[in-house]
Amino acid sequence: MEPNQAHASRLVNLQYELALLVGQELRLIPMLRRFFPPALKALGCRAAHVWLRSDAASPPECRYTYPARDTSVWRDDPRFAGAPSLLGEVPTQPRILQIGDSTQLHLMPLGTIGHCVLVREGQPLEPMVIEAIRPIFHRLATACRASLDHEQVEHLRTVAAEGEQRLRTVLEAVGEVIFQTDNRGVLTFLNPAWSSISGMEITRCIGRPVTDFLSTEDEAQVLEAFRSTLDTGQESLRFEARLRTADSVPRWVAIRVRRSHPGSAGGGVTGTMIDVTDRKQAERMKREFTATVSHELRTPLTSIAGAIGLLNGGAGGPLPEAARNLVAIADKNAQRLRVLIDDLLDMEKLLAGKLPFAFQNLELRPLLEQALSEHQPFADIHGVRFTLADRADQARVHTDPDRFQQVLSNLLSNAVKFSPEGGEVVVTAHCVAQTIRVQVRDRGPGIDPEFHPQVFQKFAQADTSDTRRRGGTGLGLAITRELVEQMHGHIGFESTPGDGATFWFELPAPLSD
């Protein structure tokens, strides 16, 4: 065989041997360990260093060295001071760097992901050999890229599995029901708390409409909450419904829903249910106790107030000055007690849903004028004037006129009581979308920001001597909020200390007369 033919044959055999070593292992380090020992032997090289980058924006890093003891032999050599900057780049062509008299570094490109540094003693590799092994290193680059991708996929899979396990642990430990439905309201997920509350197996409930497990009376409310959440994408208000259970004893649950993540299968909503049965029973017992006591107090109080009124009117004959003062004090406090009992009974009826409403489509301005007229004597006593700034001319509102007057009466009386003598209470009305907003503004001391969360709570009063002196049962605003909400409206306020307060409520405008 001619020398050139023999040389060519050796190159072909070298290519064949190296090609067999590439891609036999998917994991990066095991693959490189399998490839380089026989490859270095075939090429007559002493060591190899593989520099790879994990992504296009990152510089290459040394990911593998064979043999391991070679790591610090040549990189610390002072004659190779320029090597770090060269190895920090990805070469596109093979390069040879000479170190000393007999050591060369052959930089072989590995595509766009890095390069391999072959350490060789003696004569450098022949150009024909370098050209012959370039396709092998191209295949090695492809295998390294696949290995890096595999590493990333495995890392993501591990992270996802850990996250899934953490989420499963939380879902199993949490005491409230977490559920998901598709966009038809069919249950697609329930956590273990469902079985604790309902007594039913989760597997028997998945695939059924959530309304199958709720009281018929609450079905419309639940469906409306789901529809509104799907349409607007906003979290629903907290609402309560009765959950059917395996033992046929319904339990009250507080529900809140929001639209599921866009990537969720079937869309739909994700929600929570909290068992509030014990709280509802405690509230019912408290209401029944309050109602019983109030009713029992009303009869003797009526007699007491009537007798005091007769005495105050002179039915028992003339009274000495001191006696008249005492009777006047008793009469005033009897009236306050009667107002308190009336408020307690109203609140009990509201919470029990027993307060009747007679909705009508009415003109707004006459309702406002009536309220101001009825409260004018009270305003005169306190030296306060009313101003009606009606910006909703000819507006109509869907409401119960008596309950509307009750709401406005509470807001007006509060505004007058907290206004300075000579002050002004401004009533404003205007249209907001499909609602009518009524505002009552005073120029009183305002509300302490720390008290804002308690304003509409029962028996809530700012704890100041000035507030106590103005009187009140602490139920007026709580009743007002219940009335507005049961008339399908909303209520709120804005206040800056020292600059008064503005209370507002919104009620729906008539869709048609």
Q: Per the omega criterion (within 30 degrees of 0), is the bond before 78 cis? A: no
The CATH number of the domain where 379 resides is what? 3.30.565.10
Domain boundary among the residues 298, 330, 352 is at: 352
Q: Where are the alpha helices (DSSP H) in 353-448?
A: 364-381, 401-417
Residues of the chain falling short of pLDDT 50: 1-3, 72-73, 81, 84, 464-469
Q: Do 105 and 231 lie in a common domain?
A: no
Task: Return d(Cα 167, Cα 32) in angstroms, integer.
Answer: 37
Residue 169 lies in a domain: no
Amino acid, res. 342? D
Q: Does the global pTM surpass 0.75? A: no
The CATH number of the domain where 310 resides is what? 1.10.287.130
Give the residue among 45, 20, 47 at the shortest CA–CA distance from 31: 20
Amino acid, res. 85? S
Domain count across the chain: 4
Give the residue among 410, 386, 388 at the shortest CA–CA distance from 474: 410
User: pLDDT at position 158, please?
Assistant: 84
Both structure tokens of 88: 């920090």
Give the residue among 103, 96, 90, 102 at the shortest CA–CA distance from 50: 90
CA–CA–CA angle 160, 162, 166 (5° rounding): 115
CA distances in angstroms from 291 to 266, 399, 470, listed in the order given: 48, 27, 26
User: pLDDT at position 86, please?
Assistant: 57
Q: Do 295 and 308 lie in a common domain?
A: yes
Domain boundary among the residues 275, 307, 324 is at: 275
Domain enclosing residue 128, as ranges: 3-154
* Strands of the 501-508 sheet, one edge to the other: 385-390, 424-432, 435-441, 501-508, 490-495
Task: Return d(Cα 67, Cα 86) in angstroms, integer.
Answer: 22
Residue whose entry in the numeric block shows the structure tokens 């696949």: 146
User: pLDDT at position 5, please?
Assistant: 53
Q: Do 63 and 143 lie in a common domain?
A: yes
Task: Return d(Cα 165, Cα 171) in angstroms, integer.
Answer: 10
Give the residue among 342, 373, 375, 336 at the shortest CA–CA distance from 470: 336
User: pLDDT at position 143, please?
Assistant: 85
Residue 161 lies in a domain: no
Domain boundary among the residues 352, 370, 387 is at: 352
Residue 407 lies in a domain: yes
Do the beta carbons of residue 14 and residue 133 sit within 8 Å?
A: yes
Per-residue burial over 178-209, b = 16 or more CB atoms within 10 Å of its CB, e = otherwise: bbbbbeebbbbbbbebbeebbeeeeeebeeeb
Residue 442 lies in a domain: yes
Q: Do 374 and 441 lie in a common domain?
A: yes
Q: Do 247 and 334 lie in a common domain?
A: no
CA–CA–CA angle 160, 161, 167 (5° rounding): 85
Q: Do 193 and 316 lie in a common domain?
A: no
Q: Do 422 and 488 lie in a common domain?
A: yes
Report helix, strand or coil for 253: strand
CA–CA–CA angle 80, 82, 85 (5° rounding): 130
The CATH number of the domain where 261 resides is what? 3.30.450.20
Give the residue among 327, 329, 337 at the shortest CA–CA distance from 301: 337
Both structure tokens of 471: 């009187």
Q: Do 284 and 327 lie in a common domain?
A: yes
Q: Do 77 and 214 lie in a common domain?
A: no
Question: What is the per-residue pLDDT across 68-113, written as a single tens digit (0 to 9) for each?
Answer: 765 544 555 555 545 545 555 666 788 888 877 788 888 888 888 8
Q: Do 117 and 189 lie in a common domain?
A: no
Residue 170 lies in a domain: no
Task: Return d(Cα 355, Cα 121) in angstroms, integer.
Answer: 100
Residue 167 lies in a domain: no
Do the beta carbons of residue 259 and residue 230 sit within 8 Å?
A: yes
DSSP conformation class of 452: G
The CATH number of the domain where 42 resides is what? 3.30.450.270
Please give the sequence-ordered ranges of beta strands (E in DSSP) within 184-328, or none if there are none: 187-190, 239-243, 251-259, 269-275
Both structure tokens of 100: 């000393």
CA distances in angstroms from 46 to 88, 109, 119, listed in the order given: 22, 18, 5
Q: Do 496 and 414 lie in a common domain?
A: yes
Phi, psi (degrees; rounded to nearest 5) at 5 = -65, -40
Residue 318 lies in a domain: yes
Burial of residue 484 (CB within 10 Å: 0-12, 13-18, 19+) is buried
Q: Do 68 and 120 lie in a common domain?
A: yes
What is the 3-state composition of the chain as percent helix, strand, coil, each rounded to the nearest 5? 50, 20, 30
Residue 168 lies in a domain: no
Task: Return d(Cα 403, Cα 480) in angstroms, integer.
Answer: 9
Both structure tokens of 325: 């003062």
Amino acid, res. 480? T
Do the beta carbons of residue 253 and residue 272 sit within 8 Å?
A: no
Sign of the four-CA dihedral 52, 55, 59, 61: negative
